[in-house]
Amino acid sequence: MIYVSKSDVGRLREENQDSCDAFCIGNTLFGVVADGMGGYKGGSIASGIAVESVRRLVEAEYTAAMSESALLSLLQSCFVLANSDILQRSIKEAELSGMGTTMVLSALRPGRALFLNVGDSRAYRIIDGQARQITKDQSYVQHLVDIGEITPEEARSHPQKNIIMQAVGVSTIVTPDVYTLDYCGEPVLLCSDGLSNMVGDSAIAAAVVQDGADGAAAGRLVDMANEAGGTDNISVVLMQNNNGNAGDEHE
């Protein structure tokens, strides 16, 4: 197993409001990326709460004998817990009111993979030298693409591309989209839009193919986003569950 998480402030922002994590329990890899929003450090606090909530719940509840349906329920509960924890913090501290975060969460088992997302942080898998997007952005421009008003190419430069339709921690109800698929040990990438807005899918795939799903590839992806302008925080989780044996964690 290979898993690495890396986050960078980028070139233009003063604060990193992203958080990310990757960890292994038994034969399963878990990864999460959160891209926070909100004034007075609210974004970084919200994303940090979300990522911490995921690890806390998964480490407390997950077992290798868990069925896929039970695992999916656990991952959905991670969103519920993160949502509640962020809301409670914003109620206690008025200056944090309105903070929230995107979140993309994955679990890779030998043979099967589960992905859940809220907002516009993404999951990809690298197959046959291509980066294939798994999740669909919960964003205004994705809605425009879906109804045929703009093309995917136009969406990349649309002035409202940063508007998301849902976030974790801003409402009492959060509804992640769910994707389940067969998994054959290929590299998987989770990222914030600081990467996906700056680096094209083909360049993402080339970096992972060249370096593998390890720290070198993660660092290369961050460097590529910064070289393209680094206009936002950049977070990357790379994972590959190709043998079911635990490996080393890299940060």
Q: What does residue 23 show for φ and ψ, rounded to 5 degrees?
A: -155, 165
Predicted local confidence at residue 214, as pLDDT: 84
Sort 133 into a burial class: Cβ within 10 Å, 0-12 / 13-18 / 19+. Answer: middle
Number of residues assigned to the chain: 251
Token duo for residue 12: 């233009």
Predicted local confidence at residue 39, as pLDDT: 72
Predicted local confidence at residue 251, as pLDDT: 45
Beta bridge partners, 102, equal none
Token duo for residue 194: 């600081």
Predicted local confidence at residue 249, as pLDDT: 46
What is the b/e burial string over 155-183, where b = at least 16 CB atoms within 10 angstroms of the residue's CB? beeeeebeebebbbbbeeebebeeeeeeb
* Gap between the Cα atoms of 201 and 150, Å rounded: 19
Contact status, residue 212 vs residue 2, Cβ threshold 8 Å: yes
> Could you give the percent of the chain with pLDDT greater than 90?
88
Beta bridge partners, 101, equal 36, 168
Please state which of the four CATH numbers 3.60.40.10, 3.40.50.10860, 3.40.50.1370, 1.10.150.530 is assigned to the domain occupying 2-243: 3.60.40.10
Beta bridge partners, 216, equal none
* Gap between the Cα atoms of 35 and 234, Å rounded: 9
91 Cβ neighbours under 8 A, 6+ residues apart: 97
Contact status, residue 106 vs residue 123, Cβ threshold 8 Å: yes
* Gap between the Cα atoms of 95 and 206, Å rounded: 43
pLDDT under 50 in the chain at which residues?
A: 244-251
The pTM of the full predicted model, rounded to 2 decimals, is: 0.94
